[in-house]
Structure 1
Amino acid sequence: MTFTIDHKSPIPLHVQTEELLRKLIKQPQYQKGKHLPNEIELAQKLNISRGTLRQAINKLVYEGLLVRKKGFGTKVNNIVSSKAVSWLSFSQEMAVRGIPIEDFETKISWAKPEEVVSNFFDIRGNRKVLKLEKLRGRPEGPFVYFVSYFHPRIGLTGEEDFTRPLYDILEQDYHVVADLSKEEISAKGADKFLAGKLKLDLGSPILLRKRFVFDQAERPIEYNLGYYKADSFVYTIESRRDQ
């Protein structure tokens, strides 16, 4: 395969790079588990910056097409996954089900993000991001613990009234429309912290729901983690078979 980027094209470099990577990973050797060329080598071949390349790779990582492991490299993700055709906020989901929701705890802070969050937002250095933690559930008790990180570009201050629906705040106060959500769901055992929050025995089953939220320009705006009691969460997937 020829590695070429048209630097005179009106199409942004990161978009061209993303499409090239989509074609590259369909080749048999990468489908069989071969790692992609390292970022330095690939960026040099394409005559682009590592930042541009990383932006394209990050997009495919969060679509679940690629998996990246520090010290080993990037390769095709061969784990089968499914995604829903539409999405709702947590408050909307619960309203549809007719479930009354209470906020048991709300904590707002500024935190230096972990590497996975920094990579998603594509921010570097010691820049802090707004972190929102919420313990939510039915009136009789909590069943989900949320942790959200927000891109500094939005302009959130931490003084917002987070009893309001989150995406209403973003849209009405900051003109940021949450347009696209990509999700991952996995299982884990409750550690001491989560067991305490959700009133579970240590090691009890937890469903971890990761949500990656983008605006209308497909720029990342929120990295969300939801830890659910396993018996409280059902994920319904609707899909159509390609003809």
Structure 2
Amino acid sequence: MDRGSPVPLYFQLAQQLEAAIEQGDLAPGSLLGNEIDLAGRLGLSRPTVRQAIQSLVDKGLLVRRRGVGTQVVHSQVKRPLELSSLYDDLEAAGQRPATRVVQHLVQPATAEIAAALGVPEGADVVFLERLRLAHGEPMALLRNHLPSGLLPLDSAALEATGLYRLMRGAGITLHSARQSIGARAATAAEAQQLAEPPGAPLLTMERTTFDDTGRAVEFGSHTYRAARYSFEFHLLVRP
């Protein structure tokens, strides 16, 4: 700690702890110990340690568990805004993705879904609802509609890998997508599935994906835990 720095000591400690979590020096599930022990070991006041810990709790990197103590969770997933799947992004970040299929059925297309997929209203479409996890922790609720007959799907395959991988394996070349991002409060059902309190902030994404022939092959409506997830933008200055 640099006590001569204008940067507050709690912020310096929070930065060091966050770096240790991001680099894997503090593994998910490890305990920090109580505030008194930490303050004594670091030569800091207890309020300073408490403020540093609270800032990381607010970021979703630490969690206070009754009877357990302060525990490291998983670093926030930072997803680039490009045509990739959450499964691949989690795997690339070393997050050990897993999937739980909630619903997998055929249903008539609503006007919104029909317009997105370019099919007649009322036509059969495949509906998928999946819970995506990382290290066993819920990360996102994924709802997808696909044209009927696009590719063979079963729940076992959907739980073993990502949807885009299955599409590519079926010979579908993903070319482009139209996407919008927003935010809203979690419904009671979403909060329960995502292990968040009702009304917790969620990031949302809607995406229509097209193959190399211009055919719409997927319409996705996804919700992400805001405390565990962010989108990254790379912006260029237009000359």
Among 159, 162, 167, the alignment partner of 1:165 is 162
- Residue 207 of structure 1 is matched in structure 2 by 203
How many residues are matched?
159
Inter-partner Cα distance in structure 2 for 1:160 and 1:104? 10
Higher RCO (C-alpha under 8 Å, 6+ residues apart): 2
Could you tell me how far 1:159 is from its partner in structure 2?
A: 6.9
Unpaired stretches in structure 2, ≥5 consecutive residues: 1-79
SS at match of 2:231: coil
- Residues 85, 239 of structure 1: 8 Å contact kept: no
- TM-score w.r.t. the length of structure 1 is 0.59
- Residue 190 of structure 1 is matched in structure 2 by 186
- Residue 98 of structure 1 is matched in structure 2 by 94
Inter-partner Cα distance in structure 1 for 2:108 and 2:200? 29
Matched to 1:118, the amino acid is A
Could you tell me how far 1:153 is from its partner in structure 2?
A: 5.7
Does the alignment pair 1:133 with 2:129?
Answer: yes
Cα distance change of structure 1 residues 160 and 181 upon mapping to structure 2, 3 Å threshold: farther
Could you tell me how far 1:125 is from its partner in structure 2?
A: 4.0
Larger radius of gyration between Structure 1 and Structure 2:
2
Matches within 5 A, 1:1-243: 86-152=82-148, 154-156=150-152, 158=154, 161-162=157-158, 163-173=160-170, 175-243=171-239
Cα distance change of structure 1 residues 85 and 194 upon mapping to structure 2, 3 Å threshold: closer
Could you tell me how far 1:97 is from its partner in structure 2?
A: 1.8
Inter-partner Cα distance in structure 2 for 1:240 and 1:223? 28
- Residues 203, 226 of structure 2: 8 Å contact kept: yes
SS at match of 1:235: strand
Cα distance change of structure 1 residues 157 and 169 upon mapping to structure 2, 3 Å threshold: closer
Which aligned runs of 4 or more in structure 1 are off by greater than 3 angstroms? 155-160
- Residue 75 of structure 1 is matched in structure 2 by none
Inter-partner Cα distance in structure 2 for 1:148 and 1:167? 11
RMSD of equivalent CA atoms: 2.1
Cα distance change of structure 1 residues 100 and 205 upon mapping to structure 2, 3 Å threshold: same
- Cα offsets for 1:184-241 (capped at 9, x unmatched): 1111111121112112211111111112111012221100111111111111111222
Cα distance change of structure 1 residues 184 and 147 upon mapping to structure 2, 3 Å threshold: same
Unpaired stretches in structure 1, ≥5 consecutive residues: 1-83
- TM-score w.r.t. the length of structure 2 is 0.60
Cα distance change of structure 1 residues 160 and 127 upon mapping to structure 2, 3 Å threshold: farther
- Residue 3 of structure 1 is matched in structure 2 by none
Inter-partner Cα distance in structure 1 for 2:165 and 2:104? 18
Q: Which has the higher strand share?
A: 2
Could you tell me how far 1:87 is from its partner in structure 2?
A: 2.8
